[in-house]
Each structure stands twice: as C-alpha cells, then as structure tokens.
Amino acid sequence: MSTEKALIVLTHLVDNAIRHNAKHIRLEAANDDQAIRMTVSNDGDPISEANRDRIFDAFFTTRRDTGGTGMGLAIVRAIMASHGGSIELKPTEQGTAFELQFPAA
C-alpha cells in the first residue's frame, strides 16, 4: 500500500474520532509472518450496538445534519480490501477501536 493510501485510511479514522468527541487517539502495531496489524483506538463516543453492523455501509451516517456523508469508513474498507487487507471494529469498554490488517510484504 502506498503512503498516500495509508494516509487516506488513517485520516478518515482520525477525522471520525474527532467528530465523535475523541480527545486521544492511539496507534499500536504488531508484526508477524503473515500480516501487520494496526489498532487505531480513541476515547470518543462509542458506536452503538444498533449501528455496529452498518458503519461500513456506504452512505450510512449518524451525522447527516452536520454534513456527514457516510462515505469515510466505506472508503477505508475499500482501500484496505483493494490492497489485500481488512478493517474490523473491535469490542471496547469505552471509546472505539479498529483493527487494520495489512498483508506482510
């Protein structure tokens, strides 16, 4: 994945976190023989149980009234998939966390 594409992915995740009241964003990475896993977590508003299955759907947004298009996480998922990677919402006690998986080169 190019630096530009990785920056697009991270920018969308950080922008969403900030728009949902995050004050802190944490990046963690781990490497094994098969993949590089990166967790992007924040202390913002959690994603409700009712919305968890829909967040990667194009045009799904909880912020339409403030200009949200519902494309950010759909774009992130498409970029990750086009490079053989994936993104998954992880369960958390508070805030929100996503795990990105990049294939090892």
Boundaries of domain holding 33? 3-103
- What are the tens digits of pLDDT across the range 14-61? 999 999 999 999 999 999 888 899 999 999 999 998 899 999 988 877
CATH number at residue 39: 3.30.565.10
Identify whether the C-beta of residue 56 lies closer than 8 Å to the C-beta of residue 77: yes
**pLDDT beyond 70 at 67:** no
Q: How would you class 32 by CB atoms within 10 Å of its CB: exposed for 0-12, middle for 13-18, buried for 19 or more?
A: exposed
Predicted local confidence at residue 60, as pLDDT: 78
Predicted local confidence at residue 82, as pLDDT: 95
Going by pLDDT thresholds of 50, 70 and 90, the confidence category of residue 69 is: confident
Predicted local confidence at residue 79, as pLDDT: 95
Read off the pLDDT of each residue in 67-90 and give the average, rounded to a whole number: 90
Pick 95 or 62 by higher pLDDT.
95
- Total structural domains within the chain: 1
Identify whether the C-beta of residue 8 lies closer than 8 Å to the C-beta of residue 65: no
Identify whether the C-beta of residue 103 lies closer than 8 Å to the C-beta of residue 34: yes
